[in-house]
Amino acid sequence: MTSIDWSHYRSTSYDELMAKGGVPHRHAADLVQHLDALSDEDIAELKTTADVAIQVMGITFTVYSDAGMIDRAWPFDIIPRIIPANEWRRAEAGLAQRVRALNLFIDDLYHEQRIVKDGVFPAELLSESVNFRPQCVGISPPKGIWAHICGSDLVRDKDGTLYVLEDNLRIPSGVSYMLENRNVSKRVLPELFETGRILPVDDYPAQLYDMLASMSPRQGVEPRIVVMTPGIYNSAYFEHAFLAQQMGVELVEGSDLIVGTDDQVYMRTIDGLAQVDVIYRRVDDLFIDPEAFNPDSMLGVSGLMRAWRNGRVALCNAPGAGVADDKVVYAFVPKIIRYYLGEDALIPNVPSYLCMVEKEREYVLANLDKLVVKPANESGGYGMLVGPHATPAQRKEFAELIRANPRNYMAQPTLTLSTTPTLSEEGLGARHVDLRPFILSSGDSTYVTTGGLTRVALVKGSLVVNSSQGGGSKDTWIVETGED
């Protein structure tokens, strides 16, 4: 491990810490000054401190491979990503605006479908949506909120412009790692937290609990909230258990719950059945209720949809919210915001091409070597083509996929994502990053995390930040600079 040598640090994109000319941004000056004073041995000790903390705290993620499921220690880089608070407040407003509009959009699709009738959203796009749930038509969840928890991915281009890359409205994951990153960071760089300029993130579990409680059909009494997990073999099980523990609620599987003849949901306990008011469900739509969806599901609760439809229990996120969690629908979000809110989007989308539109499809097919092509409903970085890094054979294969099912694909320019200094075996290097903030919606208020989960591509030049494909993570600091 070499010490941090800024003299050789170079980035070909916008850098989150270092400005042009090799000087730190004002909001990163304290961190750079602190790191400059560290020796080789100090850096090695901090790395070891982080690694030990991750092992002791049991911070893991699960990777599926040909050899089966593998639990791995969370990959963490000790150099944080820093964003000034004045910039973050603008991003917060943009994220809150986006989720408000998306909730109105989802509610409209399951009721009057005004946006379709008015020609703003294509009817064929809705009719071919794999995430539209006919079982949800006519249901009105409390306060019209379908996506109570949203994780929207943000990226910067090489000029520093912040874009929304995609919205995750089904079962967004990763917030536990945001919180654990902060816990590790405080152990590694405690001195830098003493000034109070780094804004806290540890109120998220309390905010999540309050939002869930506000959805309870039994107001005026302390609600019973549970986190519903598919079980220990799910890749996000660490997060399910972590959030249940942090909120002080029960972690349950489908077999722990039952729907009574009164359409109430009950949890089996050693003292008998206990009524459940709110379910923070981390089980996919199609598996939550064998009575309404997949009859072979062993993960769900028979009658759960009936209980929800009759207002006996709150489900967060609501089934059917994924109709807006579609990379093709994403391209319409600026229009959705304008339609429902009468406002321009505060954070722009990445320019996008829809393969279902003939002219745009032909452009995509002619420029596969320059574009990133994404399927509408995959996640985790799977099923996509990064054209400049793909082989001719891979581009040919994708061209055939697009022609066979154009509705399922969209494309975007290959952005030169922003970078931040990252330690590797070769020393200090610029690595590309994205950011996933989390937004909680209760209908009465909207809460945005102070920063979010920064994911980093640990391989030089790579744009793939997903941990399941070799990416890592950093703590995200929102820092007060004294500027408005």
pLDDT digits (tens, 9 = 90+) for 83-140: 999 999 999 999 999 999 999 999 999 999 999 999 999 999 999 899 999 999 999 9
Choose the weakest-confidence range: 102-106, 340-344, 441-445: 441-445
b/e map 316-325, b = 16+ CB within 10 Å: bbbbbbbbbb
Q: Which fold has domain 218-312?
A: Rossmann fold (3.40.50)
Specify the DSSP element, H or E, that contains 63: strand 60-65
Residue 410 contacts residue 354 (beta carbons within 8 Å): yes
Query: Phi then psi for 324, rounded to 5 degrees?
Result: -95, -5
pTM of the model: 0.93
Handedness of CA 229, 317, 478, 433 (dihedral sign): positive
Question: How many Å apart are CA 344 and CA 322, to the nearest integer?
Answer: 23
What residues have CB less than 8 Å from 360, skipping those under 6 apart?
353, 354
pLDDT-derived band of residue 64, with 50, 70 and 90 as boundaries?
low
pLDDT-derived band of residue 425, with 50, 70 and 90 as boundaries?
confident
Which tens digit of pLDDT belongs to each residue from 250-259?
A: 999 999 999 9
Q: Where are the beta strands (DSSP E) in 246-370?
A: 250-252, 257-259, 265-269, 272-276, 278-281, 314-316, 353-354
Helix (H, G, I), strand (E, B) or coil at 84: strand
Q: Tell which residue, 251, 202, 200, has the closest CA to residue 225.
A: 251
Q: How many CB atoms lie within 10 A of CB 183?
A: 15
Strand order of the β-sheet with 257-259 is 257-259, 265-269, 272-276
The two tokens of residue 22 are 């090799």
pLDDT at residue 260, as a whole number = 96
Domain ranges of the chain: 218-312, 353-413
pLDDT-derived band of residue 63, with 50, 70 and 90 as boundaries?
low
Which tens digit of pLDDT belongs to each residue from 405-420?
A: 998 899 999 888 999 9
More confident residue, 75 or 272: 272
Beta pairing class for 278-281 and 314-316? parallel
Q: Nearest-5° angle of CA 340, CA 341, CA 342? A: 105
From the number of C-beta atoms within 10 Å of its C-beta (0-12, 13-18, 19+), residue 377 rates as: middle
Q: Which fold has domain 353-413?
A: Dna Ligase; domain 1 (3.30.1490)
